[in-house]
Structure 1
Amino acid sequence: MSRRATWVLGLATLVFLGALLLIRRHGGRGIAAPARPGGSSSRELTPRVLEPALRREGWLGVIVAGGSVDVAARLEGTLERVDAQVGDTVRQGAVLARLDTRALQRELAVAQASLQAGEAEQHIAAIALTETRERLQRRSDPKQLALGALSEEELATARYQEQTAVARLRAAEAGVAERKARVAQIAQKLSDAAVVAPFDGQVAIRYLDTGAMVAPGRALFHLIRTGAQQVRFAVPEDQAAGLTRGTRLSVEVPSRGQVLEGRVENLAPEVDAASRMVLAIASVSHEAGAPVPSGVVVRVFVQKGAASQAVTP
């Protein structure tokens, strides 16, 4: 072995021995020593089991109104006026908005004038029928027929005139009925130009502003029914068997610190294939002066002993 190789090997041996001495001197530091029986150490790492946030069995739910609807326009036109704003409480039949009706009003005026003309024609036809019937009655007098004052041809002509007068009167009456229907149709359109509330409720959303073009069926407002509220929640399929219609519930509203009384009203007849949950709907008590806004997240619990005391409606 050459002198250079011997020197390198000796240097490596010294480095290894030095590292071994350092490890032996500082080996216990930075490593937690095992806990001694009956003793305690501030360096011990004790495993901690997280307690569940809620030991009781419950389900998340959402407060919903007893009913809601998108109030839509029935006609095409321009939104002339908006009488309701978000948050307003409205009564059934109250006008929420109104479309521009100037064109309809002109159309109604024309239809009414046409109806008046038709009624005049009907009146004239009625007078003509009365006259022809009187003439026919005079010419049908047996005395005149016995004297030969009228020929059979003249009598037939009078009868023909009477039938023609009847037909004209019927045509005039049909024309009047058609024009009345036209007037009623336009009047109904004028009535439909006013968008009204279908029930007592509160305006949750307003979709359009004054001046917007509206098509038939276009929603203008989202209205929430006031009064009774419901909670919709989902139950795992393995727990759904414990619920029946009438089961009493406690509905906790964490954001408001409230607890409402509830009662199961409906259960879905099938399990959702994706989530393996069963949809349930329950009614909740309404506290005067403190309604819970729709959409608030709640937690639903079965009251103690309620499952065995469920009442079937």
Structure 2
Amino acid sequence: MNRTLIPLAMALILCLLAATAPAADSHPGWFGVIADPGALTIRNGVAGRLSEYTVAIGDPVRPGQIVARIDPEQAAAQLAQMQAQIDAAEAELEGKKATTNSLQERLERILTRPDALSSGALAEMRGNLRTARAETRAAEARLAQQIQERELTRGKIAKTELRSPIQGHVVEYLANVGADLSTDAAVVRLRSAQPLVLRFAFDPRDAAAPSVGTRIRVQEDRSIGAPGNDTRSHTATVESLAMIVDEDSG
């Protein structure tokens, strides 16, 4: 088996450098894959109805800028219900603490007068105090759990505002306003200023093989896997070459 070294050319597609692509020659060209390192999809962090987009397609965005909102009504209702439960739990805890303190103070007074109660009554009082302390600890644990759940719900409300993490622009809406979205649903696609990258392989023995700095025309076929014909032309510059080994060549 022969081992043929084939350079892998990587071209950055600089669409803004040329208004029109160079005229085609007789060379059939090469097939490659376009990658978009600057593309970013913003996803929904909490289930809910998409209430609005705050940016239009093509608009520039900055890091932290709100690009869409999810209706917070459901999470806000949950938060109000949780707060009511916390208020009730706090009142219950205060009652448990008051009972425990009262039993503790009474027991301490009794212990200063050893003959005030029988041994059986004293044992019962101590048992009641242990029970009151256990109920107080349980009430504290329930309250802590409810507070934690409330903070999680507050976090959900914060997630109803979808923000851009990058400097770039809006490329595409991925959901309709008014749609009920599940968690992690794709909502909007952004793109940073990074150029597109085209990777393709060619035989270095080809007379038309490009070199670093060569300007080439790129025909982008967007109709693959979809009906219709959507072919676009770009001008690209070969930025780098890398040698790879084609083990399958004869």
What is the alpha-carbon distance in structure 2 between the residues aligned to residue 301 and residue 193 of structure 1? 42
Report if aligned partners of 2:96, 2:135 keep a CA contact under 8 Å in 1.
yes
- CA distance in structure 2 between the partners assigned to 1:192 and 1:302 by the alignment: 41
**Map 1:1-313 → 2, pairs under 5 A:** 53=25, 65-141=36-112, 144-145=113-114, 148-226=115-193, 228-229=194-195, 231-236=197-202, 238-239=203-204, 249-250=212-213, 252=215, 296-300=234-238
Q: Secondary structure at the match of 1:79?
A: strand
Q: What amino acid sits opposite 2:198 in the alignment?
A: R
- CA shift, 1:149, in A, is 2.7
- Structure 1 residue 69: Cα displacement: 2.1
After TM superposition, give the deviation of residue 62 of structure 1 in Å.
Answer: 7.3
Unaligned runs of 5+ in 1: 1-51, 241-247, 256-294, 308-313
Count residues with an aligned counterpart.
Answer: 200
In the alignment, is the contact (CA less than 8 A) between 2:32 and 2:201 conserved in 1? no
Cα deviation, residue 102, structure 1: 1.8
Query: Structure 1 251/153 Cα, relative in aligned 2: closer, same or farther at 3 Å?
Result: farther
Does the 8 A contact of 2:215 with 2:235 survive in 1? no
Higher relative contact order (CA 8 A, sep 6+): 2
The answer (yes or no) to whether the contact 1:61–1:297 under 8 Å persists in 2 is no
Q: Secondary structure at the match of 2:212?
A: strand
Q: Could you tell me which amino acid in structure 2 is paired with residue 206 of structure 1?
A: Y
One-letter amino acid of the counterpart of residue 150, structure 2 = V
% identity of equivalent residues: 28
- In the TM superposition, residue 111 of structure 1 has moved relative to its aligned partner by 1.0
Greater per-residue strand proportion: 2
Structure 2, unpaired ranges of 5+: 1-23, 206-210, 219-232, 244-250
Write the deviation string for residues 207-257 of structure 1: whole angstroms up to 9, x where unpaired: 23322332323211111123x435332123x549xxxxxxx93263669xx
SS at match of 1:249: coil
Give the number of the structure whose alpha-carbon radius of gyration is greater: 1
Aligned-pair Cα RMSD in Å = 3.2
Cα pair 2:37 2:197 within 8 Å, conserved: no
Q: 1:59 to 1:298 in 2, by over 3 A?
A: farther
Q: Give me the whole-angstrom Cα distance separating, in 2, the residues matched to 1:135 and 1:296.
A: 89
Does the CA contact (< 8 Å) of 1:73 and 1:216 recur in 2? yes
Distance in 2, Cα, partners of 1:139 & 1:189? 53
Q: Deviations over 1:121-169 (max 9, x none)?
A: 111111211111112222223xx22xx2332112212211210111111
8 Å contact from structure 1 (residues 69, 224) kept in 2: yes
